């Protein structure tokens, strides 16, 4: 993957397939600690212990259309190649949490890329699921919670073009406030 | 700064139009393959291009754009399936954002399949 935001999009889709109601995406960045941590947590159907071991294997997939499943292995690789770490925890009936931690200054660090676009597309394409996105840096943090938006919107759908435009601008403005000029 | 107050204003405006935008059972569907293979091949800008092109032409009520999984032809990603009610489903392969306006205009609006972008054309 060219950007970590694409890995997020990919792995978040596993949550969608697991029939999650709420998907929490957290991107925590610290230049001081030279760390970037991405966490994707859901309240979907979860996996057995055996399945958790299997998803790390590229030759395991529940799909019938092809024989490989690279989503989780690629995400894991992206973290471990920077000297970071990767963890996936799951409990059947409770949900799954995937955490990838990166050493930002490492030469093999993949750029985060357009994470806002990923969040916007996830919201747009899965209006039945709630997303809680939190981004933090040394300069501060912000959260977008679609449950709060739905409260304001009432029966107006999240995928109304004007609402999506608002979401996009909201994400961009808040990101700029805490990223401090330097693009990631 | 974007505020929730602004969102409220958007809601009030959208509510006025809500009656017009009832779920359309005859809507055409655009399905963009967004599994690992699709995303890695560049499906995200393609999906965005469809959404933008359809919004620009004011066709959001008659065409829905959704994500789909992998249909097993990973080597041809990004793959886009177009379903127009009453017509045969068409599979476009190796789709780039530049190809999107033509697919929307020729196929979705004027019902002429863009044959050279389809899987049939590339497999020959």
Residues B86-95 have pLDDT tens digits of 999 999 999 9
Is residue B71 included in any domain, yes or no?
yes
Model pLDDT, residue B70: 87
Per-domain residue ranges for chain A?
4-178
pTM: 0.85
Question: What's the pLDDT band for B61 if we cut at 50, 70, 90?
Answer: confident
The two three-digit tokens of residue A11, written as one number = 């792995």
Pairing of strands A130-137, A140-145: antiparallel
The span from the CA of B2 to the CA of A179, in Å, is: 17
Model pLDDT, residue B21: 52
Q: Are B60 and B54 in contact (CB under 8 A)?
A: yes
Whether B23 shows a pLDDT value over 90: the answer reads no
CATH number at residue B87: 3.40.30.10
C-beta neighbour count of A172 within 10 angstroms? 14
Is residue B17 included in any domain, yes or no?
no
Is residue B92 included in any domain, yes or no?
yes
Question: What's the pLDDT band for B76 if we cut at 50, 70, 90?
Answer: very high
Of B4, B34, B42, residue with least CA distance to A169 = B4
Model pLDDT, residue A170: 95
Model pLDDT, residue A66: 78
Instruction: Check B15 against A155: CB less than 8 A apart.
Output: yes
For testing contact with chain B, the best of A1, A72, A124 (most B CBs within 10 A): A124
Report the gap between the CA of B17 and the closest CA in chain A (Å): 10
Model pLDDT, residue A176: 93
Residue B118, classed as helix, strand or coil, is strand
Question: What's the pLDDT band for B107 if we cut at 50, 70, 90?
Answer: very high
- CB under 8 Å to A49, separation ≥6 — which residues? none
Q: Does A118 touch chain B (CB under 8 A)?
A: yes
Model pLDDT, residue B20: 54
Q: What is the mean pLDDT of each run of 10 residues along chain A (184 residues)?
A: 92 92 96 96 93 88 80 94 95 95 96 94 90 96 95 87 90 91 51
Is residue B5 included in any domain, yes or no?
no
- CB under 8 Å to B86, separation ≥6 — which residues? none
Model pLDDT, residue A161: 80
Instruction: Check A163 against B10: CB less than 8 A apart.
Output: yes
Residue B108: domain span: 23-123
Is residue B118 included in any domain, yes or no?
yes
- CB under 8 Å to A153, separation ≥6 — which residues? A163, B7, B11
Dump the DSSP string for B64-83.
EEEEE---S-GGG-S-EEEE
Model pLDDT, residue A7: 94
| Domain total of chain B | 1
Whether B109 shows a pLDDT value over 70: the answer reads yes
The span from the CA of A116 to the CA of A164, in Å, is: 12
Whether B68 shows a pLDDT value over 60: the answer reads yes
Which class is domain A4-178? alpha beta
Q: Does A50 touch chain B (CB under 8 A)?
A: no
Pairing of strands A85-91, A95-103: antiparallel
């Amino acid at each position: 993957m060219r950007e970590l935001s694409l890995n997020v999009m990919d792995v978040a889709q596993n949550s969608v397939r697991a029939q999650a109601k709420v998907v929490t995406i957290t991107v925590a960045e610290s230049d001081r600690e030279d760390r970037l941590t991405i966490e994707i947590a859901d309240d979907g159907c979860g996996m057995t212990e055996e399945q958790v071991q299997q998803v790390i294997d590229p030759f395991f997939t529940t799909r019938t259309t092809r024989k490989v499943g690279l989503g989780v292995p690629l995400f894991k690789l992206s973290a471990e190649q920077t000297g970071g770490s990767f963890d996936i925890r799951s409990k059947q009936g409770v949900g799954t949490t995937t955490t990838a931690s990166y050493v930002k200054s490492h030469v093999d660090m993949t750029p985060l890329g357009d994470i806002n676009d990923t969040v916007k597309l996830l919201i747009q394409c899965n209006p039945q699921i709630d997303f809680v996105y939190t981004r933090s840096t040394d300069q501060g943090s912000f959260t977008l919670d679609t449950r709060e938006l739905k409260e304001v919107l009432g029966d107006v759908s999240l995928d109304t073009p004007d609402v999506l435009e608002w979401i996009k601008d909201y994400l961009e403005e808040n990101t700029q406030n805490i990223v401090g000029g330097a693009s990631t | 700064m974007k505020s929730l107050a602004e969102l409220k204003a958007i809601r009030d405006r959208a509510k006025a139009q809500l009656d017009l935008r009832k779920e359309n059972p005859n809507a055409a569907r655009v399905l963009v393959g967004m599994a690992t293979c699709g995303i890695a091949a560049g499906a995200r800008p393609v999906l965005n291009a469809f959404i933008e092109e359809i919004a620009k032409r004011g066709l959001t009520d008659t065409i829905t754009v959704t994500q789909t999984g992998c249909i097993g032809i990973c080597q041809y990603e990004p793959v886009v399936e177009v379903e127009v009610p009453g017509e045969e489903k068409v599979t476009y392969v190796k789709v780039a954002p530049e190809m999107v306006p033509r697919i929307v205009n020729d196929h979705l609006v004027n019902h002429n399949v863009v044959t050279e972008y389809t899987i049939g054309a590339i497999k020959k």
